[in-house]
């Protein structure tokens, strides 16, 4: 974490010199600790302007530490990206998330109640993960469609196991362990 005093000076300078008030906090998990969120909230409350920001957040941590919801609102959160990956519990466990789908849906409703339409809420999903079925995907789509006021956007991507790439995923390192059949096509090159 960047020293909070250096961050305060940087935000103040950006505001004084350029009028910047909107930020993207590109920390991969901005709410990984309530201590960090509270420390930054305290610093932001002392700024000469009211910043607005977007960030990556984890719903399971908001569920575990619900005080973060109010802190984030008071700080000026404008957008949140929740990398849910899947509402299917077995799938979530396979990718290291482990949050039950009903808990994720419940927390999306909780943050919507707390933040309303003032915060853009995006969820990230990955199609093609282990244990995910077409029925699971259809249920997810149906659930999202019935809540257009709660979820502003969905970022759904297909699983890329990255065979042969520099950053091979866990699924690419041992695809058969996860139930994937790998077929390599000869392109003739």
Which residues pair with residue 121 across a beta bridge?
Answer: 80
Q: In this predicted structure, what is the pLDDT of residue 97?
A: 83
Q: How far is Cα 169 from Cα 36, in angstroms, rounded to an integer?
A: 29
Q: How far is Cα 59 from Cα 125, in angstroms, rounded to an integer?
A: 13
| Least trusted range by pLDDT, from 35-39, 64-68, 79-83, 128-132 | 128-132
Nearest to 114 by CA among 56, 67, 44: 67
Lookup: tokens for 113? 């109640």
pTM of the model: 0.86
| Least trusted range by pLDDT, from 1-10, 23-32, 98-107, 159-168 | 159-168
Q: In this predicted structure, what is the pLDDT of residue 95?
A: 83
Instruction: Specify whether the CB–CB gap between 112 and 121 falls below 8 A.
Output: yes
Instruction: Specify whether the CB–CB gap between 47 and 16 falls below 8 A.
Output: no
Q: For residue 175, what pLDDT band results from cuts at 50, 70 and 90?
A: confident
């Amino acid at each position: 974490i960047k020293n909070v005093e250096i961050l305060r000076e940087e935000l103040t300078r950006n505001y004084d010199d350029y009028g910047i008030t909107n930020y993207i906090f590109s920390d991969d998990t901005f709410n990984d600790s309530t201590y960090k969120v509270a420390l930054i909230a305290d610093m932001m409350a002392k700024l000469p302007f009211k910043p607005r920001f977007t960030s990556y957040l984890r719903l399971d941590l908001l569920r575990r530490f619900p005080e973060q919801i109010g802190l984030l609102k008071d700080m000026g959160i404008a957008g949140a990206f929740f990398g849910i990956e899947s509402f299917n519990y077995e799938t979530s466990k396979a990718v290291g998330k482990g949050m039950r789908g009903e808990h994720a849906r419940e927390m999306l409703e909780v943050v919507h109640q707390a933040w309303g339409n003032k915060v853009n809420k995006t969820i990230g999903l990955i199609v093609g993960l282990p244990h995910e079925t077409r029925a699971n995907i259809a249920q997810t789509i149906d659930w999202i469609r019935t809540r257009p006021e709660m979820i502003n956007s969905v970022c759904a991507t297909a699983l890329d196991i990255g065979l042969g790439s520099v950053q091979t995923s866990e699924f690419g390192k041992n695809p058969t362990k996860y139930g994937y059949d790998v077929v390599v096509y000869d392109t003739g090159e």
